[in-house]
Amino acid sequence: MPGMAAPTTAAQRSAPDRVKGCCQPVAAPLSDARVDELSHVYRALGDATRVQIVHILTAAAEPVCVCDFTAAFELGQPTVSHHLARLREAGIVTSTKQGVWAFYQLNPEMSAAARAAVQLIG
C-alpha cells in the first residue's frame, strides 16, 4: 500500500548499535584530543625541509646551531627559523640560546606519537 512503511527486520533494528558503515563495523572515532595531537605532529612533519631537519637532529650527538641548518639547506635564517618554530610548536624539538645563536635538539619529552613519527625518519 502506498505511503505505508515496510516492516523493520531484526538487522535494521540493530543498526544503531553499529558505528557508521553499511557493510562492516568501523572503529569508533578517535578522541578530539588524540586527533589534534596527531594532526599537529603530521602537519609539522609535512614539509621536506622539516623532515631533513629532524633527520639531522636524529643523527646529531649534540644540539645543532640554527646557522648549521641555514648552511645545510641554502635557506635564509628566517625561513629556517620558521621551520624550526613549527617543529618546536609540535613538541618535536627544543632549543636553547647561546649568545645570539639558538641550538636545537630533539625534545626528549616529545609525545609518543611524535616519537613514533621521528623514528620513521631516523
70 contact partners, CB below 8 Å, separation of at least 6: 76, 77, 80
Q: Closest Cα partner for 64 from 52, 46, 48?
A: 52
Q: In angstroms, rounded to a whole number, what is the distance separating the alpha carbons of residues 63 and 54?
A: 12
> pTM of the entire structure?
0.76
Where are the domains positioned within the chain?
Answer: 52-122
pLDDT of residue 23: 80
Q: Which fold has domain 52-122?
A: Arc Repressor Mutant, subunit A (1.10.10)
HSE-CB at 23 with a 13 A cutoff on CA atoms is 0
Summarize pLDDT for 45-62 with one digit per residue, the tens: 999 999 999 999 999 999
